Every structure is written in structure tokens, then in C-alpha cells.
Amino acid sequence: MDSVLMNKDESNEKAKFKKNSKFKSTLKAIKKDWQLYSLLILPIAYYIIFRYVPMYGNIIAFRRFVPGGPVYGTEWVGLRYFDMFIHDPSFWQVFRNTIILSVEYLVISFPFPIIFALLLNEIKSTWFKRFTQTVSYLPYFISTVVVADMIMQILDPSSGVINMILKHYTGHTINFLAEPQWFRTIYIVSGIWQGMGWGAILYLAALTNINPELYEAAIIDGASRWQQTIYVTIPGIMPTIMILLILNIGSLLAVGFEKILLLYNPLTYSTADVISTYLYRMGLVSNNFSYAAAIGMFEAIIGLTLVYTANYLSRKFTESSLW
């Protein structure tokens, strides 16, 4: 018995010593490169102030909040607001719209930056490659308001370019922004155009880390360019692909609020109304903040579950994961 206790004490002392040595080495590294670590101050402050501190406001999902009253509500109501949205048919309609739009956008748009990066990697002319990259990055920096206005102008029933072409060849026009069945197509296509170039940056960086000797060995074995892409390039960037896929799955329900808010209207609610726009109407328009907070917490829990599930599956099947 005494020997067992002595072994436990020795293991605890070793663990404490290892922990202290690790802490000292971390402090030493920070002291040595304090200029680099000082760059973390603003990002950490941003996340603490604007991400973590507001989390305490989720308490109003369990309390009755009245505008003009106490900041954290007047009385406890338990799970009342959660029960409200569970039995609210309008919520389940927007939840379904969110899932459909998010999954379609992820499935359709996710491969485009990968394909674009692979195509850019095949360009031999340096100036043309840089020019193509620059042009493809520019849409990402255009304001969402400007993008929405451009979409409205292009799809205008009377003067839009698309409808002018349709009228020339078919004799009639389509009011795309008033047709529910067209909204998802408009959202996905505009999202691909705006984010494809910027999304390819990480893949291009990953491509530079692939060992050139692998390509040389593949050429010696008689592999074509397509076979080199399949058996060398894609496996080389697969960890990056999986990590970005996990992050995208984690934000599956966080579809672009600004663009949807600017483009949708009551005629397209059946396909365009999503959780974020529903929260906007419930919280800021109807002043039902507690109900909106409950829905937002529900959305966050689903997002967290999706991240953990995607990370587990990725680690199990591809050995690439966030943690």
C-alpha cells in the first residue's frame, strides 16, 4: 500500500515538474519574442469584448426582457421561449430554408476555390497568373450593399442585362427577385463570384508546400497532368481542404444575413427567409429580444454540434482535424 502511495506521489511530482517547466519555457518564449506576441493583444481584446462578454446576455433567453427595463430581464421564465419557437410553424419554415440554402451553398460553392487554385497553379506565365489572381480577389472586397445593388441592376425586369437578353431571344422577361424559386440560385451564384478568388488563397499556399520531388517521381512513372493532380496535388492539399470544410460546416447555419436582408422581400419569404433574418424581425423589429435570444442560442448549439461532429469524422477517416 505504501509503495502504491509513493508511486502516486512520484507521478504527481513529475507531472507538476513537467507543468512548471512547460510554463517556464512558454514565458521564456514570450519574453524572447515579445514583439510578435504583442500583435495578439488586439485580436484577443476583440474576441473578449465583442464575442465572450456578450455571451452573458444569453441569460435573457431564460428571463422576461422588457425594452427599457433591467438589462438582464425582469423575471425568470425558464424554457418558455424555447418552447415557443419549438411550437412555432414560422420558425421551422425559416429553419428548413436555412438548412436547404446552407447545404446547397456549401455543396456547390466549396469545390470552386479548390478547382480555381488548381487551374491557377497550372498557369506558367507569371504576369498572367498574378493578373488573374488580382482580378479574382477584387469582388471579395466589394461591399455587400454594392453587390446587392449590382444584382438588382443586372436582374431588373425592365433594364437589366439578363432580362434584355431574355427579351431579345424569348420575347418575355422574368422578375427574378420576386420569384421564390430563383432566390437560392441568385444567392449561390453571387456568393461563388464574390468569394471564389479569395477562398483560393489558402489552397494556393498549400500547393507551394508540396514536395516537387513527388511530381518528378510521378513523371518518371509516366503519370499525365491529370494523374499528377489526382494522386499528388489533391492528397497534398487534403489537410487544408478538410480543415476548411470543418470550419464551413460549423458556420452552416450562419448564412449571409446582409445579402439576404438586402435582396429578399415578402414575395420570396418562402425560400429566402432564414434564421438570421427571422431573428432580426423578432428582435429588432418586434422588440421580442428574449425570444430572439432563445433562437440564437439554439442556432449556436447546433453549430457547435456540427463542428464537433465534422471534426470527429475528419479525424477518423482522413487523420486531419482542428484538434
179-204 pLDDT, tens digit each: 999 999 999 999 999 989 888 988 98
Q: What is d(CA 69, CA 126) in angstroms, rounded to the nearest whole number?
A: 62
Cell numbers describing residue 62: 431564460
Residue 44 DSSP symbol: H
- From the list 237, 245, 241, the residue with the least C-alpha distance to 214 is 237
**Largest Cα–Cα separation, the chain:** 95
Domain 89-317 in this protein, CATH class: mainly alpha
- From the list 174, 114, 152, 153, the residue with the least C-alpha distance to 259 is 152
Q: Which amino acid does the sequence have at 150?
A: M
Residue 248: per-residue pLDDT:
84
Domain boundaries, the chain: 2-39, 89-317
Residue 5: per-residue pLDDT:
45
The low-confidence residues of the chain, meaning pLDDT below 70, are: 1-20, 319-323
Averaged pLDDT score across all residues of the chain: 84
Cell numbers describing residue 238: 487534403
Residue 52 DSSP symbol: I
Helix 111-121 crosses helix 126-137 at what angle (to 10 degrees)? 160
* Residue in this structure with the C-alpha cell 476548411, named with its chain if needed: 244
Residue 86: per-residue pLDDT:
86
* One-character DSSP codes across 113-173: HHHHHHHHHT---HHHHHHHHHHHHGGGGS-HHHHHHHHHHHT-TTT-HHHHHHHHHHS--
Task: Say whether 182 sits in a helix, a strand or coil.
Answer: helix
Task: Say whether 68 sits in a helix, a strand or coil.
Answer: coil
* One-character DSSP codes across 274-323: -HHHHHHIIIIIT--HHHHHHHHHHHHHHHHHHHHHHHHHHHHHTS----
Residue 4: per-residue pLDDT:
46
- Is the separation of the CB atoms in 295 and 276 below 8 Å? no
Residue 115: per-residue pLDDT:
92
Note the pTM of the prediction, 2 decimals: 0.79
